[in-house]
Chains A and B, each alone.
Chain A
Amino acid sequence: MPYDFEPLGLTFKLAALTTIILFLIGVPLAYWLTLTRSKIKYVLETIVSMPLVLPPTVLGFYLLIAFSPRSALGNFLETSFDIRLAFTFTGILIGSIIFSLPFMVNPIKAGLENLPGSLAEAAYTLGKSKSQTLFKVLLPNIRSSILAAVVMTFAHTLGEFGVVLMIGGNIPHVTQVASIAIYSEVEAMNYRGAHFYSLVLIAVSFFILLAVHWINRKQIKVF
């Protein structure tokens, strides 16, 4: 029986898109969290970290309810924009982004917080704005934290199961990512297929993390 590579392709597509979008959201969010003195900071930090402790099924369950065409949000999206999120790839992408948020935001925030505050002040005294300072001074000095954030987000999305299953179900070619394919192969007693996906995921995760530890020997972020 030939192996079906599609679940692996979907997995990598999901992980890559999640990582890119989260990077674009995560950098400004982390920067804002380090700068703000607003009281909602602590609330927001807590919300960002919630996926670390919450069972993925809880998050998936509520997202499924929110995305369902019978809910206000799902109904609005479907009637106004013709976008359907439940049981679609876009749906599991949004779920993944929320679920992996702490893996992107926390290391970048920790990196920014560890920089001496006077480094940014030095840039301000040279007439540079906050965004110029962020891109030219702060981010280049937390390269290892950014690398850790990107890789951890990517690797974490590869292994996602609960959220994807709740929101996307198990629809081949649409939402059946590798982790779900393993589950359904085992259910069908097809251990050979399960081994195939499992070993690929083990190998990929191992080599990604090995690369990070090798590049980042000096500075490894703990969550």
Chain B
Amino acid sequence: MLKIFLKKQLKSPQGVLNLDISFDVKEGEFVTLFGKSGSGKTTILRMIAGLTCPDEGTIEVGGHVWFDSQKKINFAVQQRAIGFVFQDYNLFPHMSVQENLEFALVSRDDQRLIDELLSLAHLASLKNRNAQTLSGGEKQRVAIVRALIRRPKILLLDEPLAALDEELRFKLQDDMLALTKRLAVTTICVTHDLSEVFKLSERIFLLDGGRITKSGAPAQLFGNQSISGKFKFIGEILEIKKSDIVNILTIQIGRNLTKVVATDEEIKDLRVGEKVIVSAKAFNPIILKYAP
């Protein structure tokens, strides 16, 4: 469906980064490019969208060539069937929600699609509100709906949930899933925070030093497949404390903190701020009725 090979030299205050990536995405797939800030993620999305010109490479979507540096093919943004959700959403502040969506309409006939997507995103009641008065989560959903109105071949998401709090992120992932599945759109998401889209991603590409260093399904990529744990969570290390012969790690999983004991060997490669998988295998959980 989507074949990409791109090279671009990026200059930043941190130095020169030679972006050199190639990957394929299947029709209808949701893939995530994961990398630290400054790893060139946004630039990759912008190159696919046609907002930034690659130094060299090809972009082929569903058999159509959008960009080919050798054959000097370079479609303008407007000619590429993409939907782009910007990090700061970029809703048009002088328009209502409805007007923002109508602006994206290709033909008047799609009016019904607007209504359908609005209700799918739980936005129907906000239709006439001014875009500026919406909350972060509402803006984000309007931005996704707006990007989908044109029925793009590819939906590009630039850190779509970065500006939102944890609880909202969790909820919005379901809405995002419903929307992207409704139109069966191929989606490429970039993020520096995997918890953002872990639930949605079918495949994840790890981006490091301008190259894709690893790729695979989320669980495969972040966990050893041999673990047959009944519990498996991804969390972030907040603290590593040495206590006599063992180490105590404080890990944030979702909104909960947990303490885990680890040996020196286990924490050898771990540092505060890193993402880890916490899993437990072969034990029998006790379940009690929850009475707060």
CA distance in complex: A116, B86 (Å): 12
A131 to chain B, nearest CB (A): 12
B257 to chain A, nearest CB (A): 37
Residue B177 at the A interface, CB < 8 A? no
B93–A141 touching, CB < 8 Å: yes
Residue of B nearest to A137 (CB): B92
Known: A118-B90, A141-B94. A126 touches B103 (CB 8 A): yes
CA distance in complex: A1, B93 (Å): 56
CA distance in complex: A127, B149 (Å): 11
At the interface, is chain A mostly helix, strand, loop or mixed? helix
CA distance in complex: A114, B32 (Å): 33
Interface residues of A in 109-126 (CB under 8 A from B): 116, 118-119, 121-126
Contact of A126 among B51, B94, B150 (CB under 8 A): B150
Residue A2 at the B interface, CB < 8 A? no
Residue A129 at the B interface, CB < 8 A? yes
B162 to chain A, nearest CB (A): 15
Residue B77 at the A interface, CB < 8 A? yes
A122–B78 touching, CB < 8 Å: no
B94–A122 touching, CB < 8 Å: no
Number of residues in A with C-beta < 8 Å to the partner?
A: 16
A124–B92 touching, CB < 8 Å: no
Residue B251 at the A interface, CB < 8 A? no
B150–A122 touching, CB < 8 Å: no
At the interface, is chain B mostly helix, strand, loop or mixed? loop
B102 to chain A, nearest CB (A): 11
**Contact code string A46-88 (vs B, CB < 8 Å = 1, else 0):** 0000000000000000000000000000000000000000000
A121–B78 touching, CB < 8 Å: no
Interface residues of B in 253-271 (CB under 8 A from A): none
CA distance in complex: A118, B158 (Å): 12
A118: B residues at CB distance < 8 A: 86, 88, 90
Residue B49 at the A interface, CB < 8 A? yes
Residue A221 at the B interface, CB < 8 A? no
A127: B residues at CB distance < 8 A: 78, 104, 106, 150
A125–B88 touching, CB < 8 Å: no
A119–B92 touching, CB < 8 Å: yes
Residue of A nearest to B77 (CB): A124
Contact of B90 among A121, A128, A136 (CB under 8 A): A121
Residue of A nearest to B49 (CB): A125
B93: A residues at CB distance < 8 A: 141
CA distance in complex: A122, B143 (Å): 10
Residue B6 at the A interface, CB < 8 A? no
B90–A122 touching, CB < 8 Å: yes
**Contact code string B106-125 (vs A, CB < 8 Å = 1, else 0):** 10000000000000000000
Residue of B nearest to A119 (CB): B90
Residue of A nearest to B106 (CB): A127
A125–B84 touching, CB < 8 Å: yes
CA distance in complex: A134, B150 (Å): 20
Known: A118-B86, A121-B90, A122-B90. A136 touches B103 (CB 8 A): yes
